[in-house]
Structure 1
Amino acid sequence: MEYGKVLRFHRVKQGLTQNQLADGIISPAYLSKIENDQTVPAFEVLEHLYERLGLDFHDSSYHHPSKEKLKEWYEMIVFKRKEEARKLKEELIQQKDTLNNHHLYIFFELFRIRHLLLENEVEEAYKAWKDIRQHEDTFDEEMEYYFHLSSGLVSYYQEDYENSYSELMEAKNYSTSIKLEGWEESDLYYLLALSASQANNISASIFNAEHALAIYQKQYNLFKSANCHILLGINYGRLKNYGKALENYHLVSKIATQTNNYYQLGVIYHNIGVIESRLGNFEAAISNYKKCLSYRTETASDHEIFETIYCLVFETYKIGELEDCRKWINEGISHLNSSSSDTTTDEIHLKVYTMLIDNDENASEYLESVAIPHFLEKKHHRFVIRYCMIVADLLESERSYKKSTKYLRLAIDLLNKYSNLGGIVL
């Protein structure tokens, strides 16, 4: 057993310095060597140090029954069995060893990060991640795997997709030295595919999605297989291989219809709408977005519902159906008023199109000073491109040719770099 790591973990957890723990037992310098596994002290020394920390020196948890319970809890989290996960979490908290034992506590906290994300408590998850990070030098390889996987998930929810993919790749490196079950391996590949897609790394996303799909199919997991097909459809759509994209979406449609999965049906109709829009079939795009909303009203998040409403605003404005556009703007406002999440980004979208419909003379100033800087900061390049093109036209009509050219150039530069943007992922 790695006594040094256990000592350091509990010392830090209890807010003690090395001087305070070592006082009257050994020198602080010698304690430092113990904590860094540079020496093996006598059992009597360890017993005294453990006693001061209120620990049982003879306890071992590497094969403790609670570890199996923790993995059972983690599986519930991965498969999004929310009610079961909540119930088992409370049971685990009641077990003294879960919170007092170094080994069990680390795993509990690492798994809790993902549970908080499942419950959409992103800030709490980030706080838990920061707290556990201070103990990283006490981690074994299995802990490192879950730590980097959790880091990747936290970054994903913070929309830092490049760092998310990097952290998940680090988790994959650790996975080679530990034994993952099949469902964990497929989960890792799917998360890699998801983060790679959002980071615009299309080839890596397709590679990992196909690996995840192969495992899910062997497990006869229809839901997860459908998620992989959705991701493949999005990536092939970005490569403008629309036939391959639609092939994947139609496979999902069959699976989701058989399983009555309205959430997945909402996702595919949204993404078919994206393809139709990119093909210039705007009426077909609008029709698919409306179908999407009919499924999304009870099964999707507030953000996902607004995403589709925004697309209807965009499409109706683009074809000059301004009354319909205003109707969808009002629908968006009503939706945001009932939402409990941060709606700043969505409010900016609706404000832009309201000003455009009303021919508001301050539209170009709002785009320059508020909208474009906001989406640049968020790294939402799709919207930066869109609003740069709009403001360039407005500025040209105002004869501000130099400023118009600046935004047109920014849009072109981003288009060259991110020419395959589009699609909504799970």
Structure 2
Amino acid sequence: MEYGKVLRFHRVKQGLTQNQLAEGIISSAYLSKIENDQTVPAVEVLELLYERLGLDFSDSSYSHPSKEKLKEWYESIVFKRKEDAELLMNELLQQKETLANHHLYIFFELYRIRYLLLENEVEKAYEAWENIRQHKDTFDDEMNFYFHLVSGLMKYYKSKYDDSYQDLIEAKNYSSSLELEDWQQSDLYYLLALSAGQANYISASIFYTGLALEIYQSHYDLAKSADCHIIQGISFSRLRNYSKSLENFDLARKIATQTNNRVQLKLVYINIGVLESRLENHEASISSYKKSLEYVDEKNTALDTFEFLNIIHGLITQHYKLNDEKGCIKWINEGERQLISYPSKPHELHFKIYKFIMTKNEDIQELLENEIIPYFQEKRDHTYTIRYAMFLADLLEKQRMYKKSSSYLRLAIQLLNKHSHLGGGISL
């Protein structure tokens, strides 16, 4: 057992300095060596240090019954069985060993971060992460695996996709020394696929989705298989392999129809709408977006609302591309109506620019230069920075403001060269 790590953990947790813990027992310098596993002290010394911290020296948590209960709790979180997860958490909290024991407490807190994310309590999850991070130098490989996994997941929720992917790669590195069960391995691959896709590492996303899908299919997990096909469909669409993309969306649709998964059906039709738009099949795109609306349930989470606003934005752009002013204005008005109850800055700006276009507002250039493009640049949203920069460049060129037009065109081209997967379909 790593006594040094246990001592350091409980000392920090109790707010004691090395001098305070060591006083009257050993020197603080010797305690430092113990905590850093640079020496093995006499049992009598350890007993005295443990006693001062209120710990049971004979305790060993690596085979503690609560460890299995913790694993059961984590599994219920991963599979999003919210009622089971809540019951198991309360049961664990009633066991004093869960919070008093170094080993068990670390795992409880790491799993609790994921539980909080499941409940969409992102800020609380971040607070728990900040708290547990201070004990990182007491972690073993298994703890480091879960720490990097929940760190990656938390950063994904905060839209820091590149950081998310890097943390999940670290988790994968630690996993090589562990004996993970299939459901843990597929969960890791699935999270890697998600973060890689959002970070625009498209080939990596396809690779990890394939690994996850293989495990899900072997266990006849239809829901997760459909999720994987949706990710593959998005990835192949970005690579402009539209036939492969549609093939995956069709597979996801068939599974979701069989299992009556309305969320997946909504996502399938949203993404087919995006794909049809890239192919300039605007009528078909509108049809798919409207079909997705059939699966929009009463909104009760931030994600539901964001997706609904995305559908409206998609409908606005497709009507605009068809020069359907009436349809465009109809969905702009609907979008603005939804924003009253569910504010979203990016959607507010999307709807605003189309309203300016439809009403021929003369302040459109100022809006693009001073508000819209700076906002999407700050958010590192390259797709919309490119889209609005090219639109502004064209607008300035028509006004014979060639120098300024060239600067925005250059911005768009630089981003396109850096993020080649964003090419195509970038007109407003």
Q: One fold, TM greater than 0.5?
A: yes
Distance 1:115 1:134 in 2: 20
Structure 1 residue ranges without an equivalent (≥5) = none
Distance 1:384 1:111 in 2: 37
1:318, distance to aligned residue in structure 2 (A): 2.4
Distance 2:420 2:268 in 1: 22
1:301 is paired with a residue whose SS is helix
1:319, distance to aligned residue in structure 2 (A): 2.1
Distance 2:72 2:337 in 1: 41
- Which deviates more, 115-124 or 391-400? 391-400
Distance 1:76 1:334 in 2: 38
CA contact (8 A) 1:186 1:215 kept: yes
Distance 1:275 1:358 in 2: 29
Describe how 1:13-412 pairs up with structure 2 within 5 A. Answer: 13-298=13-298, 301-339=304-342, 343-412=344-413
The percent identity for this pair of structures is 65
Cα deviation, 1:382-418, whole Å, max 9, x if unaligned, reads: 1111111222222223332211111111112222332
Distance 1:352 1:54 in 2: 63
1:420, distance to aligned residue in structure 2 (A): 2.5
TM-score, structure 2 length as denominator? Answer: 0.95
- Which deviates more, 271-280 or 113-122? 113-122
Distance 2:330 2:89 in 1: 45
Distance 2:100 2:137 in 1: 18
Q: 2:281 corresponds to which letter in structure 1?
A: N
> Is 1:5 aligned with 2:5?
yes
Distance 1:180 1:288 in 2: 40
Distance 2:93 2:345 in 1: 37
1:24, distance to aligned residue in structure 2 (A): 1.6
RCO comparison, higher one (Cα < 8 Å, 6+): 1
TM-score, structure 1 length as denominator? Answer: 0.95
2:115 is paired with a residue whose SS is helix
Cα deviation, 1:310-342, whole Å, max 9, x if unaligned, reads: 111222222222222222122222323223xx6
Cα deviation, 1:13-66, whole Å, max 9, x if unaligned, reads: 111111111112111101101100111112221122112212111111111111
Task: Provide closer, same or farther for how the CA distance between residues 86 and 330 of structure 1 changes in structure 2, counting only shifts above 3 A.
Answer: farther
Distance 1:80 1:329 in 2: 35
After superposition, the CA RMSD in angstroms is 1.6
1:289, distance to aligned residue in structure 2 (A): 0.6
Cα deviation, 1:84-112, whole Å, max 9, x if unaligned, reads: 21222122222211111110111011111
Structure 2 residue ranges without an equivalent (≥5) = 424-428
Map of 2:417 onto structure 1: 416
CA contact (8 A) 1:145 1:174 kept: yes
1:186, distance to aligned residue in structure 2 (A): 0.6
Cα deviation, 1:190-244, whole Å, max 9, x if unaligned, reads: 1111111111111111111111100000111000011111111111111111111
Cα deviation, 1:113-168, whole Å, max 9, x if unaligned, reads: 11111111112212211211111110000001001111111221122211211111
Distance 2:66 2:275 in 1: 49
Q: 1:360 corresponds to which letter in structure 2?
A: N
2:240 is paired with a residue whose SS is coil
Q: How many residues align?
A: 421
